[in-house]
């Protein structure tokens, strides 16, 4: 389904925003699908978990420009578990 199949104008704006953001991220060196996932996550998530080391390295380089944290799920789970143990 293309943008024309959407009924809600706010859905079209959200999808347009995600496409534009993913294009900007792709120009920053992210692969196209990684850029699309990252753009979606920036809009609706606090964290994006991935096991893709190349994606993690690229996200780490650009972390100050991203609106979402990108982390390895194992490392993230260990840090969450350790933090809960401290409380």
| pLDDT for residue 34 is more than 80 | yes
Give the confidence band of 8 by pLDDT, cuts at 50, 70, 90: low
Task: State the average pLDDT for the chain.
Answer: 87
- Measured between its terminal Cα atoms, the distance across the chain in Å is 48
Q: What is the pLDDT of residues 42-66, one digit of tens each?
A: 988 999 999 999 999 999 999 999 9
Q: How far is CA 36 from CA 4, 56, 64, 82, in A?
A: 20, 15, 18, 31
Give the confidence band of 1 by pLDDT, cuts at 50, 70, 90: very low
What pLDDT was estimated at residue 10? 62
Nearest to 59 by CA among 80, 81, 34, 33: 34
């Amino acid at each position: 389904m293309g943008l024309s199949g959407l009924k809600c104008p706010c859905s079209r704006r959200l999808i347009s925003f995600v496409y534009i953001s993913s294009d900007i991220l792709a120009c920053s060196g992210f692969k196209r699908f990684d850029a699309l996932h990252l753009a979606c996550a920036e809009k609706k998530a606090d964290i994006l978990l991935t096991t893709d080391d190349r994606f993690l390295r690229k996200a780490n380089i650009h972390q100050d420009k991203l609106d979402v944290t990108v982390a390895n799920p194992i490392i993230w789970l260990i840090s969450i578990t350790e933090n809960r143990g401290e409380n």
